[in-house]
Amino acid sequence: MELLKQRIRKDGKIKDGHIIKVDGFLNHQIDIALLSEIGKEFKRLFGKENITKVITIEASGIAVACLTAQHFNVPIVFAKKSESKNIDGDVYKTTVTSYTRGKDYTVILEKRFLTPQDRILIIDDILATGKAQRGLLDISRQAGATVVGIGIVIEKGFQGGGDRLREAGYNVQSLAIIDSMENQTVSFRE
Amino acid sequence: MELLKQRIRKDGKIKDGHIIKVDGFLNHQIDIALLSEIGKEFKRLFGKENITKVITIEASGIAVACLTAQHFNVPIVFAKKSESKNIDGDVYKTTVTSYTRGKDYTVILEKRFLTPQDRILIIDDILATGKAQRGLLDISRQAGATVVGIGIVIEKGFQGGGDRLREAGYNVQSLAIIDSMENQTVSFRE
d(CA A117, CA B101): 33
Q: What is the mean pLDDT of residues B34-52?
A: 98
A20 has which bridge partners? Answer: A14
Q: Is B85 on the interface with A (CB under 8 A)?
A: yes
Of A19-28, B78-87, B116-125, minimum mean pLDDT range: B78-87
Please give, rounded to a whole number of angstroms, the shortest distance from the CA of B98 to a CA of chain A.
Answer: 10
d(CA A69, CA A67): 6
- pLDDT confidence of residue A57: 96
Q: Quick one: DSSP state of residue A113?
A: G
Report how far apart, in Å, the C-alpha atoms of B163 and of each of A166, B98, B127, B152, B173 are: 53, 18, 10, 13, 11
CATH for B105 = 3.40.50.2020
List b or e across A84-103, with b for residues whose CB sees 16 or more CB atoms inside 10 angstroms. Answer: eebbeeebbebebebbeeee
Instruction: Work out whether the CA dihedral A83, A57, A15, B107 comes out positive or negative.
Output: negative
d(CA A54, CA A89): 23
Name the residue range of residue A135's domain: 2-188
Q: Is B18 on the interface with A (CB under 8 A)?
A: no
Q: How many domains are contained in chain A?
A: 1
- pLDDT confidence of residue B105: 86
- pLDDT confidence of residue A38: 98
Nearest to B139 by CA among B87, B80, B83, B98: B80
CB spacing of B62 vs A67 below 8 angstroms: no
Helix (H, G, I), strand (E, B) or coil at A73: coil
Omega within 30 of 0 (cis) for the link into A59: yes
Q: Quick one: DSSP state of residue B157?
A: G
Helix (H, G, I), strand (E, B) or coil at B28: coil
CB spacing of B32 vs A70 below 8 angstroms: yes
pLDDT band at A183 (very low <50, low <70, confident <90, very high): confident
pLDDT at B110 over 60: yes
Q: What is the mean pLDDT of residues A5-16?
A: 94
pLDDT at B98 over 80: no
Q: Which are the contacts of A18, defined by CB distance < 8 A and separation ≥ 6?
A: A156, A159, A181
Q: Which are the contacts of B126, defined by CB distance < 8 A and separation ≥ 6?
A: B22, B27, B60, B152, B153, B154, B155, B156
In this complex, the residue of A67, A84, A85 whose CB is nearest that of residue B66 is A67
**pLDDT tens-digit map of A69-80:** 999 999 999 999
pLDDT band at A86 (very low <50, low <70, confident <90, very high): low
**pLDDT tens-digit map of A138-155:** 999 999 999 999 999 999
Does ipTM top 0.90?
yes
Specify whether the CB–CB gap between A187 and A179 falls below 8 A. yes
Mean pLDDT value across chain B: 93
Nearest to B69 by CA among A29, A53, A1, A75: A29
Of A74-78, A85-89, A147-151, B57-61, minimum mean pLDDT range: A85-89
Report how far apart, in Å, the C-alpha atoms of B42 and of each of A9, B19, B64 are: 34, 24, 10
Nearest CA in chain A to B80: A28
Report how far apart, in Å, the C-alpha atoms of B57 and of each of A160, B80, B99 are: 32, 6, 14
Q: Is B55 on the interface with A (CB under 8 A)?
A: no
Tally of helices (H runs) and strands (E runs) in chain A? 5, 11
pLDDT at A5 over 70: yes
Kindly state the percentage of chain B with pLDDT values over 90: 85
- pLDDT confidence of residue A24: 97
pLDDT at B103 over 90: no
d(CA B153, CA B69): 14
**pLDDT tens-digit map of A23-69:** 999 999 999 999 999 999 999 999 999 999 999 999 999 999 999 99
Q: Is A48 on the interface with B (CB under 8 A)?
A: no
Kindly state the percentage of chain A with pLDDT values over 70: 95
B188 Rama class: left (phi>0) / alpha (psi -120 to 50) / beta: beta
Specify whether the CB–CB gap between B8 and B187 falls below 8 A. no
In this complex, the residue of A28, A70, A86 whose CB is nearest that of residue B77 is A28
Q: Is A84 on the interface with B (CB under 8 A)?
A: yes
pLDDT at A100 over 80: no
pLDDT at A17 over 90: no
pLDDT band at B132 (very low <50, low <70, confident <90, very high): very high
Q: Is A183 on the interface with B (CB under 8 A)?
A: no
